[in-house]
């Protein structure tokens, strides 16, 4: 297992375009999380999945954002009609249900720049 994989690593898009990011978690992990990190800040929670079910969404996740995890494996995060304020690092993490001493395992992130 190569850990949590995120693609692409970098994405530059024009304002108003749609973008989609992919996350492949550790295969044994049934929980998958999306976080957003802006410059100089810690990661902020966006949403998480238990298997294919999306169990919680932050108020940060406006109706332009949608996340899916169709078969309980990989996940996608789509942002529609991107705005400059969406520029950030989008981090994916996975964990077992009983996280305990293991915390999350993070991917390297997708850095989004909206121009």
Partner 1 sequence: GEDVEQSLFLSVREGDSSVINCTYTDSSSTYLYWYKQEPGAGLQLLTYIFSNMDMKQDQRLTVLLNKKDKHLSLRIADTQTGDSAIYFCAEDFGNEKLTFGTGTRLTIIP
In the bound complex, what is the minimum distance in angstroms from residue 81's beta carbon to partner 1?
A: 26
How far apart, in whole angstroms, are the C-alpha atoms of residue 99 and residue 104?
7
Q: Give the length of the chain.
A: 115
In the bound complex, what is the minimum distance in angstroms from residue 95's beta carbon to partner 1?
A: 9
Is 66 a residue that touches partner 1 (CB under 8 A)? no
Is 105 a residue that touches partner 1 (CB under 8 A)? yes
CA 56 vs. chain centroid, Å, equals 13
- Nearest C-alpha neighbor of 46 from the set 25, 9, 77: 77
Among 12, 15, 56, 83, which residue sits at the site for partner 1 (rule: CB under 8 A)?
56
Q: From residue 11 to residue 50, what is the string marking binding to partner 1 with x (rule CB under 8 A)?
A: ----------------------x------xxxxxx--x--
Q: Which residues contact 73 (CB under 8 A, 6 or more apart)?
A: 24, 25, 27
Is 51 a residue that touches partner 1 (CB under 8 A)? no
């Amino acid at each position: 297992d190569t850990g949590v994989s995120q693609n692409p690593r970098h994405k530059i898009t024009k304002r108003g375009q749609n973008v989609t990011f992919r996350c492949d978690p550790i295969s044994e992990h049934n929980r998958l999380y999306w976080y957003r990190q802006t410059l100089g800040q810690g990661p902020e929670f966006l949403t998480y999945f238990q298997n294919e079910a999306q169990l919680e969404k932050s108020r940060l996740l406006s109706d332009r954002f949608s996340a899916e995890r169709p078969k309980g494996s990989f996940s996608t995060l789509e942002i529609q009609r991107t705005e400059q304020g969406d520029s950030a690092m989008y981090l994916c993490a996975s964990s077992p249900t009983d996280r305990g001493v293991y915390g999350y395992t993070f991917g390297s992130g997708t850095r989004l720049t909206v121009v």
